[in-house]
Every structure is written in C-alpha cells, then in structure tokens.
C-alpha cells in the first residue's frame, strides 16, 4: 500500500504573517504550498488533520506565564512590536534595583549579593535571573564603588531605563492575528506529537510551523511561541530515551538550542548560515550579540556534547552542503533517537531573499530522505516535520513539496 502523510494545513495556521511585509503576507505561503501540492497530485496521498489552538497551560510548558500574558495584551492592541516584550518587566526590575541600591546606600549597607538576591526573588517567576543578566550584560548590572562604600547601576542597566534602547523595538510586530495563528500552530504541533507517539500517525508535516527563534520569555525575529520546543518537551515526558531535533532552516534555531542546551536527552543537529553573515547581524536587529550558532556551541552542563552546530559559508552549493550534512547525520544516528523533529526550512534555496545561499531542491530532497531513514532506523519511523522558513513563494512551494514527495516516497 502506498505511503500516506498527515498534514495540518488549516487556514488558521496559514494566517501567520504580516500585511506590512510583502514577502510574509498572511495566507500566501500556505496557499502557494497547497496549490503546488494539488498541481503535483500530492494531495491524493495526504490526510489533512485539524487541531485547535494551544491553551495558555500548553504554551506555559515552555514560555513563562508573564510572557504569554504580555504577548496576548500587546497583540490585542494591534500596534508596536514584540521583540522587546519583556522590556517592561526588565524596566520594572531595573527601577526596583535602583531603589533597593539607593536604600542600601542610605543605610550604609551596600552589598551587591544582597541586592542581587532581592532582585532575583522579585523577578521570579516572570523570568530567571540568568536570563535577566543575559539581557543586560552581567558585568554591567551593578557597580560596587569600594572607596565610597556604595553601589550603583552599571551603564548596561541604566541604558535599559531609556526608551530609545534598540532592544525595546524589533521586527516582530504585535498583531492579534499573528498571536491567534501562533496558538493554532502550537496546537497542531502538540496534537501531531501526541498522535505520533500514540501510534495513530507516523510521519506528519506542518508547513506553517517551526518558529524556532522564540525564547521562554522573549519574542524574536517573527517568532512568538516556539512550537518545536513544545513538541519536544511533550515527547520527553512520554519517552525514556533521546529526542533528536534536526534543523536545516538557514537561520540557527537559537530558541530551541537555548531551551535544551543543558538537556542531555535532546540531541540537536543544526545547519545554518554562519551567524556572522546572517541573523542576528541584520539591519533590523543590529544590537544582537552572543549568537549561539558556532561550532563550539555544543551544549552546556549535562547537555555538553549533545548539540551540533554547523555554520555554512555564504554561497554554499548542494555538493558542499551534503558533505557537511553527513556529519550531522552521523551525530544523530549515534544518539539512537526515539522521535525526530525536523525543521525543514527552505530559506537556504538560492531564490530566497533572506539568505546568501545557492542550494537547490536536490539538497532538500536528499536530506529529507536521509532524515526519514534515521527515523526508520531507531525511532519506529516517528517523524514530525515543521516547514520553517521560506520567503520567496516560488521557491518555498517547490521546497516544501519536495519535502512532501520525499516523505511520501521514502
């Protein structure tokens, strides 16, 4: 019997997009994919599946409650951007820090560790103290003037009280339709994972999914909620072994990496354009630093050695790409995953305006077939495929249909 594929393609997912961005119009990417799939006769072999939106509780299996509430309220206003969504929390915390520091100074009891502990207690559970330190730059948070016996805010913290701080704005616009679509996407990813693990489905494709830049308390680069992380977390709770996350989107999956950097049960193989030539070093977010997509970023603590980042030079060809892929393939195979999440972003195709690559659908086809083989080897075929990036409609629809053809024929 010929293979069949389950696909989540409700218009509610396709609505993800921005009227202001000609290359990211709501509905356009999903419609282009479905038209192409129909033209190729692929829909004959597809079973379309639906799921509703994710609940707050489901989103909070990764995202903080304060972040979800902040996204909802900011998107309801349909204005501004979300990339600085935690900025109000941070600004409140910095104001508190300033007040606590000044009180300690006034009492002659300036003690950096006491002030930090008070701040950490106040921030929880909105965001972790480490995240906060990351945000400001740990060295610049507090300055202890030993001569004067006082503490004061460092330059990094002071800068956060200034509304002109570039971190307070970003490209991820706050739109009610995007928040709704993001919930549907997460609902689909969770439903698909549940059905795959229950044995109802084996291979699933969700074209409008794979929003891998979202962090626990931060929207980043058009990503609100991180559907790959939600799916992986759910699978970790159902399985005893390793879950593999393979990401070929041309941008590194920084949100997924950060979520599982210390988790040994999540093995990550991520091929992406060198972070020194692509996001986050874009005109839209020039202030970003410390991008974790370098080869030496291989996980932390108990997760060390369980992540593989492969950075591509600009203008990488199919042959060069597939040679690099063999390292990722061997890395994943050695971990014997019980479930694989594959982020099949096609924004590395030569036609895509958001990257600097020369890839063709031949590379997408070959990698997808080999991911299928990996899933068949150790995971009982259990494979969730998330469409990821792709911002030039011709290339995107061809890329995603190439993925579907590989999933159906392998």
Catalytic residues: 213
Q: Which is nearer to Zn ion, 63 or 251 (CB)?
A: 251
Half-sphere exposure at residue 105, Cβ-oriented, CA atoms within 13 angstroms: 18
Could you give the angle at which helices 176-198 and 65-76 cross, rounded to 10 degrees?
140
**Shortest spacing between CB 249 and Zn ion, in angstroms:** 4
Q: Tell me if 224 sits within 8 A of 194, measured CB to CB.
A: no
Q: Tell me if 273 sits within 8 A of 357, measured CB to CB.
A: yes
**Shortest spacing between CB 349 and Zn ion, in angstroms:** 11
**Shortest spacing between CB 395 and Zn ion, in angstroms:** 13
**Shortest spacing between CB 286 and Zn ion, in angstroms:** 18
Give the whole-angstrom CA distance, residue 353 versus residue 389.
11
Q: Which is nearer to Zn ion, 97 or 214 (CB)?
A: 214
Is residue 207 a contact residue for Zn ion (CB under 5 A)?
no
Residues 6+ apart with CB under 8 A from 282: none
Q: Which two tokens stand for residue 391?
A: 């911002």
Is residue 249 a contact residue for Zn ion (CB under 5 A)?
yes
Among 42-50, 150-158, 174-182, 381-389, the segment contacting Zn ion (CB under 5 A): 381-389
**Shortest spacing between CB 347 and Zn ion, in angstroms:** 4
Neighbours of 229 (CB within 10 A): 28
**Shortest spacing between CB 221 and Zn ion, in angstroms:** 8
Is residue 274 a contact residue for Zn ion (CB under 5 A)?
no
Is residue 212 a contact residue for Zn ion (CB under 5 A)?
no
Give the whole-angstrom CA distance, residue 224 versus residue 335.
30
DSSP code for 22: G
Give the whole-angstrom CA distance, residue 267 versus residue 263.
8
Which 3 state secondary structure label does DSSP give 357?
coil
Among 22-30, 251-259, 289-297, 402-410, the segment contacting Zn ion (CB under 5 A): 251-259
Backbone angles phi, psi at 338, to 5 degrees: -95, -10
Is residue 251 a contact residue for Zn ion (CB under 5 A)?
yes
**Shortest spacing between CB 363 and Zn ion, in angstroms:** 15
Q: What would the x/- binding string for Zn ion be over residues 327 to 366, using CB under 5 A?
A: ------------------x-x-------------------
Dihedral of alpha carbons 140, 145, 149, 153, sign: negative
Q: Which is nearer to Zn ion, 193 or 344 (CB)?
A: 344
One of 26, 389, 395, 399 touching Zn ion (CB under 5 A): 389
Q: Which two tokens stand for residue 308?
A: 């593989």
Among 80-88, 108-116, 300-308, 388-396, the segment contacting Zn ion (CB under 5 A): 388-396
Among 38-46, 187-195, 248-256, 293-301, the segment contacting Zn ion (CB under 5 A): 248-256
Could you tell me how many residues of this chain bind Zn ion (CB under 5 A)? 5
Give the whole-angstrom CA distance, residue 380 versus residue 392.
34
Range list of β-strands (E), 184-290: 203-206, 243-247, 266-273
The residue sitting closest to Zn ion, measured at its beta carbon, is 389
Residues 6+ apart with CB under 8 A from 148: none
Q: Which is nearer to Zn ion, 210 or 299 (CB)?
A: 210
Q: Which is nearer to Zn ion, 101 or 355 (CB)?
A: 355
Q: Which is nearer to Zn ion, 132 or 342 (CB)?
A: 342
Give the whole-angstrom CA distance, residue 11 versus residue 181.
9
Would you tell me which residues interact with Zn ion (CB under 5 A)? 249, 251, 345, 347, 389
């Amino acid at each position: 019997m010929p293979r069949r594929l389950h696909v989540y393609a409700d218009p509610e997912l396709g609505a993800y997009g921005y009227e202001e961005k000609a290359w990211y119009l709501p509905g356009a990417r999903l419609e282009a994919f479905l038209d192409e799939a129909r033209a190729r006769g692929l829909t004959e072999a597809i079973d379309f599946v639906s799921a509703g939106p994710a609940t707050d509780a489901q989103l909070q299996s990764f995202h903080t409650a304060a972040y979800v509430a902040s996204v909802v309220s900011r998107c309801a206003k349909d204005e501004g951007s979300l990339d600085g969504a935690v900025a109000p929390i941070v600004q409140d915390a910095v104001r508190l820090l300033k007040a606590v520091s000044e009180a300690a100074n006034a009492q002659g009891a300036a003690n950096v560790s006491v002030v930090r502990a008070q701040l950490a207690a106040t921030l929880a559970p909105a965001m972790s103290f480490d995240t906060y330190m990351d945000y400001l730059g740990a060295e610049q948070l507090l300055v202890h003037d030993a001569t004067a016996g006082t503490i004061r805010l460092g330059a990094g913290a002071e800068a956060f009280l200034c509304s002109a701080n570039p971190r307070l704005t970003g490209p991820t616009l706050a739109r009610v339709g995007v928040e709704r679509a993001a919930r549907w996407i997460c609902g689909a990813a969770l439903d698909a994972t549940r059905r795959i693990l229950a044995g109802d489905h084996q291979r699933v494709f969700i074209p409008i999914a794979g929003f891998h830049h979202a962090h626990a308390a931060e929207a980043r680069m058009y990503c609100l909620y991180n559907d790959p992380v939600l799916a992986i977390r759910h699978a970790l709770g159902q399985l005893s072994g390793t879950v593999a996350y393979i990401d070929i989107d041309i941008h590194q999956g920084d949100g997924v990496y950060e979520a599982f950097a210390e988790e040994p049960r999540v093995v990550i193989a991520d091929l992406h354009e060198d972070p020194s030539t692509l996001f986050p070093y874009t005109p839209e977010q020039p202030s970003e630093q410390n991008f974790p997509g370098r080869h030496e970023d291989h996980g932390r603590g108990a997760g060390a050695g369980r992540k593989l980042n492969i950075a591509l030079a600009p203008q990488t060809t199919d042959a060069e790409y597939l040679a690099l892929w063999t390292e990722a393939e061997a890395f994943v195979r050695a971990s014997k995953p019980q479930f694989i999440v594959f982020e099949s972003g096609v924004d590395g195709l030569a036609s895509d305006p958001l990257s600097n690559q020369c890839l063709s659908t031949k590379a997408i086809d070959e990698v997808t077939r080999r991911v299928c083989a990996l899933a068949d080897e150790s995971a009982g075929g259990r494979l969730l495929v998330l469409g990821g990036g792709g911002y030039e409609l011709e290339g995107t629809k061809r890329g995603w249909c190439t993925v579907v053809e590989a999933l159906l024929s392998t």
